[in-house]
């Protein structure tokens, strides 16, 4: 039963990944904790992390 669920999830991810865009249009800009704008480069792949705390 678990193997069927895992297989279904993997196939779902594969289908969803195939439907996505190959490149983002426009710049991706986020705000950091000091409200400074951070722009990610579009020329090469970029990995970024979100760390969120609720206080």
Res 5: pLDDT = 92
For residues 29 and 42, the answer to whether their CB atoms sit within 8 Å is no
16-38 per-position pLDDT tens digit: 877 766 666 777 788 888 888 88
Res 2: pLDDT = 87
Q: Which residue has the higher pLDDT, 21 or 6?
A: 6
Q: How confident is the model at residue 55 (pLDDT cuts 50, 70, 90)?
A: low
Which of 32-36, 41-45, 50-54 is the most confident on average? 32-36
Q: Which of 18, 42, 50 is nearest to 10 (CA)?
A: 18
């Amino acid at each position: 039963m678990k193997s069927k669920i895992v297989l279904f999830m993997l196939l779902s991810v594969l289908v969803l990944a195939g439907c996505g865009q190959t490149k983002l249009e426009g710049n991706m800009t986020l705000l950091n904790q000091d409200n400074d704008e951070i722009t990610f480069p579009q020329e090469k792949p970029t990995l970024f992390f979100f760390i969120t705390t609720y206080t």
